[in-house]
Structure 1
Amino acid sequence: MTDISSPVCVYWIRGGLFGIGSPSAQIGGIFLLSGRREVRSRSDVNYYTARKLEDMARSMERLAKAFDEGMHKTGSLTRDDGLAAMQTSASMVCQDCSQCGIYAESEREDSYYLYYLLRAFEQKGQIEKEDMPRPFLAGCRKKEDYLAQLNRSLARAAMNLSWKNRFLESRDAVVSQFRELSLILGEFSHQIDQAADITEEYGYIMKKLFRRCHVAVENMLILEYESGRREAYVTARTTNGRCMTAKDASELMSEVIPGTRWNPAKDSRSIITRQSGTVRFEEDGEYQLLYGAARVPKQGERCSGDNYTFCESPGSQAMISLCDGMGCGEPACEESGQVVELTENLLEAGFGSRAAFKLVNTVLLLAGTEQHPAALDMSCVDLYTGVLDVMKLGAAPTFVLGQEGAEVLEAGQVPAGILSEAEPVMLSRKLWDGDHIIMVTDGVLDALPGEDKEQAMCQFLESLDFMPPQEMAERILEFALSFVPGARDDMTVLTAGIWKKE
C-alpha cells in the first residue's frame, strides 16, 4: 500500500488509476501529493505537450533515416544491366548457336567490350555495327537481329533506370519533408517549453479591470516567450447584455501591462458577447513596415513572370516574398504565382520562415516542376526585435539601405525545385529605424551597366534622398530601364521601410 505522505503521486485519467511516480512525470488530471488533492497547473500541461512534441520530432527523424537507407541513385547502366541485355538477346536470337562468344567474353571482370558497349549506348542512344568487336561482325550470321535486340534490351534497362532514379528522387523529397517536419516539431516543442506562464502576475488586476467594463473573465492564460514577446488567451463573456469588440479589450490589456501594445489576433474572435468565448491577443511589435512595388514585363509580353506578396504571419512576423519564374509570360507567371501563394499560406498557418522555405522547395520537387524551376527570395522581419532574416534559392541579391550606406546580401545559385539537397542561403541582420530593404529580380540587375552590377545598384541607392518605399521602388525601376531600349527580361523591384512606432 502506498504511503500518500511520501513525495510520490497517484493520479487518474478519466476515473481510472494510471500510475505512481514523481511529480515531474505526472500527466494526469488530478493527483495526490502529500495527502492533498491539487489541480495540475498549466505549466505541467506545457511540459507534457513539449515532451510529446519532442518525441514526435525524434520519431520523424528516425523515420527519415529509415527511408534514407537502402537503394541509392545510380547515374548510368551497370555491368549487370549489360550482361542481362546480352543474355536476353542471345536467348531470343542466337538460341543454341555455339559460335557466339561475346557473352562469355563479357562475363569476365576485366572485359573491355562490355563497358565500351554500355558507354557507346549512353552517348549515342544505340549501339551501331562499328561498335561491336570484329570477331562478332565476321562470324555472326544474325548480327543485324542480335544488334537490334541488344539495343531494345538496353533501351528497356535505361528506361527502368530512369524510373528507378525518379522514384528515388521522390523518396528523397519525402525524406526531406520528414526531416523538416521533425525540425518544425522540435522548434515548436522548444518554444512551448521555454514559454513562461505570467498569468498570476497580471491576472487579478486584469480581471478587475474587465469586470468594471461589464466583462466576466472566466479563464486567462498569459505566456511570455523566450524572445520576450507575450501572448494571451482570455475566455470571457459580457454581463450587461451588450457586446465588446476585441480591439477595445486589447486596449484594456495595454493598460494593465505598462509599456506594451496589444492587438487581437487575426484568426481570433473579433467580438466578446454574452456567450463565453476565447479571444487570443498578441503583443504588438515595436516596429512597422511600409511597402512599395514596381515592375514591368519583358518587352513583347502581356504579363510578367515575376510574382510577389507582402503579408504578416503569427508572432509579429512580416514577410516579403519574390519569385522569379523560369522564362516569361503567362506560364512563368502561373508557376511563380503558385510558389508565392504556397509560401504565404505556410507562413500564415504558423510555419517558421525557414521551414516554409524548405517545404516549398520539396513540394516543387514532388510536383515534378524541376523542368521549370523558380528563383525564390524571401525576407522576414521580426517586428518585435527588428531582426531581418533573408532566405534565397537562386535569387538576385537583396540590398539593405541604412544610415551607413547600402549593404549587399548575396544570393544562392540553385533555383527552387532542382535539388532536394539544396540548402537555401540564409542571412540575418539587425534593422534600425529608417532602414530600407530592396529586393530585385535578375532582370533589374542585368540592365545595369558595368561588370559589378551590385556596386552600381549600391551607388544609386546611396545617392537617393529620403522618400516613401513606393516612390523608391519606382525610381529604382526607372534607373534600370534607363540603360536599355526595352525590358529584356521581367523586371520587379520590392521595397520596404522599417520605422519604430510612436
Structure 2
Amino acid sequence: MFVWKRTRRRDMADVNVYTAGRLSEMARSLGLLARSCTDSLEEENGLTREDALAAMQMAGALVCGGCSRCNLYRDSEKEDSYYIYYLLRAFEQKGRVEDEDMPRLFLETCRQKDDYMMHLNRNLGRATMNLEWKNRFLESRDTVMVQFRELALILDEFAHQMEQATDITERRAAAVTRTFRLHRAVVENMLVLEYENRRREAYLTVRMLGGKCMTARDAAELFGQAMGSGTWYAPADTRNLITRQLGTIRFVETGQYRMVCGAARLPREGERVSGDNYTFINLPGQAVLSLSDGLGSGETACRESGRVVELTQQLLEAGFSARSALKMVNTILLLTGAQQHPATMDLCCVDLHTGVLEAMKMGAVAAFLLHEGSADILEAGQVPVGVIGQAEPLLLSKKLWDGDRIVMMTDGVLDSWPGEDKEKAVKEYLEGMILKGPQEMAEEMLQFACQWGDGPKDDMTILTAGIWKR
C-alpha cells in the first residue's frame, strides 16, 4: 500500500513537470504569434501626397472629362510641385478646400469649378475617414498583440513557478497519514510543494470513516500539527467539508508576517460619492492593497476607478502577477474605449513569507514607507490606466520589517497638504507623528489634510497598512 502511494505521488510530480513544459510551449507559441503579426504598417498622422493626387484625379474623372485647360492634376503630379502640400495643409486646417486655396488659372478657366470643388472635398474627406479607420485598426491590432505578449509572459512565469516547486511530500507523509488516521480520516494520496519564496502548499486526497465529517478548518489544524511547523489554512477556493466520499482538499501555509490595514476617505465637496476606490485582498501568502483615482469626481469617476480595482482584483485572485495584471487591465480598457475616462492605479503587494513589498504605479501619486521613524518616498507613476497601449507600470521593490507602515493616498490628499514640496511635507509629517494603529493613522492624516482649506476640493482617500511578525 505504501509503495502504491509513493508511486501515485511520483506520478503527480511528473504531471507537474509535464504541465510546466506544456505551459512553456504555449508561451513560446503566443510569443511567436505576436511577433508574426508585427509588420511594416505604421500609424500615419495625416494625409499624404498620394492621397491628395488620388482625390484630384477622381474629381477630374467625374467632372473634367477631356478638358485640359488648367492642367491642375498634371502640374501637381510633378516632383517639384509644392501646391499639393499647400492644398493638404489648407484642408487639414479648415476641414475643406475653398476657392481661395485654388490656383488663379483654375478659377479663371474652369467652367465647372463648383462641381470640381465639391468632389475634391468629398474625396479628401473619404481619404481622411479611411486614414482614421486604418489608424484605429492598427491601434487595436497592436493592443491585441500586447495582450498576446503579456499572456505569453504570464504562462512563462507560471511554468517557471511549477518547475521550481520542490516536492517535499516524503518528509512528513507518514506523520500526516498517522495523525489523520487517529481522527478517523484516511489519506489516500498527498502532495506537498515548496516554492522559491519558501511558501508551501499541500493537496490531500482524503475520506472519513464511520460516517463522520470534518471541516476544512479542523483538517488544516490537524495538518499543521502533523507538519510540525507553520500555521496552515484551507483557502476559500477549496472544499469546505471532508466526508466519506473521497475528495481532494488544498492547504496553504500562512506567512511569517501578518498585515493590518486601515482606510479613510472623503468625497469632493458637493458630491455624494467619491471618485476613488480601493480594496484589500488576502491571497495565499500575499496581501494586496490597491487604490484607484478616477478622472474628475462623482459617479463617473467612481465607476471607472471601481472598474479598474475590480478587474485587477479578479486577475490577481486568478494567479496573475501584479505587473501582468496591470498590463492586462490597461489593454482591456484600451480595447473597450475607456481612454475617455482614465483612472490611476496604485498597487502594493506584500509577500507575507519574505516581507518583500512590490509597489506598482500607473498615474498614481507617491506612496510612503515608514520604518523606525524614517519615511521613504515611493515615487509617482506617470501614465494612468487605459491611455497608452505600451504603458509600463512603475515597479518599486522594498524589504519590509516588523512594525513597518505603508501609506498610500490619492492626489486630493497630497494636493491639500501644506507646503510647496508636498511629498517632502508628508514625509516630515510621518517622521514626526506618534505611531498608532493603521485605521487611527489614516483618520488622523485625513483630518490633518482637511484643515488647510474650506472643504475637499477633490476626492480624498488614504490607505495605511502595518506589517508585523506572527
TM-score calculated relative to the size of structure 1? 0.90
- Name the CA distance, whole Å, in 1 between partners of 2:452 and 2:109: 70
- CA deviations 1:269-302 (Å, max 9, x no partner) are 1211111111100011111111111111111111
Residue 146 (structure 1) aligned with residue 116 (structure 2): yes
CA distance in 1, matches of 2:392, 2:429: 31
- Corresponding residue number in structure 2 for 1:440: 409
The one of 296, 300, 311 equivalent to 2:270 is: 300
Residue of structure 1 equivalent to 2:195: 225
Q: Deviations over 1:62-84 (max 9, x none)?
A: 11112222422111111221111
- 1:230-263 CA distance string (max 9 Å, x none): 1100010111321111112211222222331111
Name the amino acid aligned to 2:61.
Answer: S
**Deviations 1:60-112, CA, capped at 9 Å, x for gaps:** 00111122224221111112211111111112222221113221122223321
The yes-or-no answer on 1:54 pairing with 2:17 is no
Secondary structure at the residue paired with 1:45?
Answer: helix
Q: Which residue of 1 aligns with 2:346?
A: 377
Match of 1:9 in 2: none
Tell me the matched-pair count. 464
Question: What amino acid sits opposite 2:468 in the alignment?
Answer: W
**Deviation of residue 495 (structure 1)?**
0.9
Amino acid at match of 1:51: G
CA distance in 2, matches of 1:396, 1:46: 42
Aligned to 1:77: 47
CA-atom RMSD in angstroms: 1.6
* Residue of structure 2 in register with 1:341 after alignment: 310
Aligned partner letter, 2:64: C
Paired position in structure 1 for 2:327: 358
* 1:127-146 aligned within 5 A: 127-146=97-116
Quick one: structure 1 residues 55 and 126, their matched pair in 2 at CA, closer, same or farther if it must change by over 3 Å? same
**Equivalent-residue separation in structure 1 for 2:414 and 2:398 (angstroms):** 22
Task: Name stretches of at least 5 consecutive residues in structure 2 with no aligned partner.
Answer: 1-6
Match of 1:485 among 451, 454, 463: 454
Structure 1 counterpart SS, 2:406: strand
Supply the distance in 2 between the matched residues of 1:147 and 1:473 (Cα, whole angstroms): 66
Letter in 2 for 1:248: D
**Matched position secondary structure for 1:412:** coil
Bigger relative contact order (CA 8 A; separation at least 6):
2
Query: Alignment identity in percent?
Result: 57
**Distance of aligned partners of 1:329 and 1:270 in 2 relative to their CA distance in 1, 3 Å threshold:** same
Q: Which has the higher helix share?
A: 2
Q: Structure 1: 5+ residue runs without aligned partners?
A: 1-36
Alignment of 1:172-191 (within 5 A): 172-191=142-161
Please name the residue that 2:383 is paired with: 414
Alignment partner of 1:469 is 2:433: no
Equivalent residues in 2 for 1:261-340, closer than 5 Å: 261-313=231-283, 315-340=284-309
Summarize deviations over 1:136-186 as a string: whole Å, max 9, x none: 233323333322221211111111111111111111111011011000100
Distance 1:108 1:421 in 2: 40
1:258 counterpart = 2:228: yes
Question: How many Å separate the matches in 2 of 1:428 and 1:119?
Answer: 50
Aligned AA (1:140): C
Q: 1:426 aligns with which of 390, 395, 400?
A: 395
Q: Which moved more, 1:106-115 or 1:129-138?
A: 129-138
Any conservation in 1 of the 2:373–2:432 contact (CA below 8 Å)? no
Post-superposition shift, 1:404? 4.4
Aligned to 2:4: none
Partner residue of 1:90 out of 33, 46, 60: 60
